[in-house]
Amino acid sequence: DTGVSQDPRHKITKRGQNVTFRCDPISEHNRLYWYRQTLGQGPEFLTYFQNEAQLEKSRLLSDRFSAERPKGSFSTLEIQRTEQGDSAMYLCASSSTGSGTNEKLFFGSGTQLSVL
């Protein structure tokens, strides 16, 4: 168990550019989540996958945001035409359905995005 891995740790980009972040969950975990955390706030839920199926994406902040998990393993989060307001820490978490209730989420260390 190597934990949830996120890449890159830091990303600096210019306004209007596209960025993509990668998340590798714990290998046996079938659920994967993306959260966003801005300074002084707690994490905010964005979207969720069970295996390769994206089961909830209503919280994705705009149509500039998209996420994929094509083979039910790693996931990518893409932001198109970045804006300064997109600057935040993007967190990935994974969990296993296991016995069912009250799943324990394992979080990665996040990708810090700075849009100049």
Which CB atom, from 56 or from 78, has the smaller least distance to another protein?
56
* Shortest distance in whole angstroms from residue 34 CB to another protein: 11
Which CB atom, from 84 or from 102, has the smaller least distance to another protein?
102
- Residues at the site binding another protein, with contacts judged by CB under 8 A: 3-4, 31, 33, 40-45, 48, 56, 91, 93, 95, 97, 100-110
End-to-end Cα, the chain, rounded Å: 36
* Shortest distance in whole angstroms from residue 85 CB to another protein: 18
Cα–Cα distance, 69 to 59 (Å, whole number): 17
SS3 61: coil
Which CB atom, from 74 or from 106, has the smaller least distance to another protein?
106
**What secondary structure does DSSP assign to 40-93, as a single string?**
TS--EEEEEEETTEEEE-TTSSSTTEEEE-TTSS-EEEEESS--GGG-EEEEEE
* Shortest distance in whole angstroms from residue 108 CB to another protein: 5
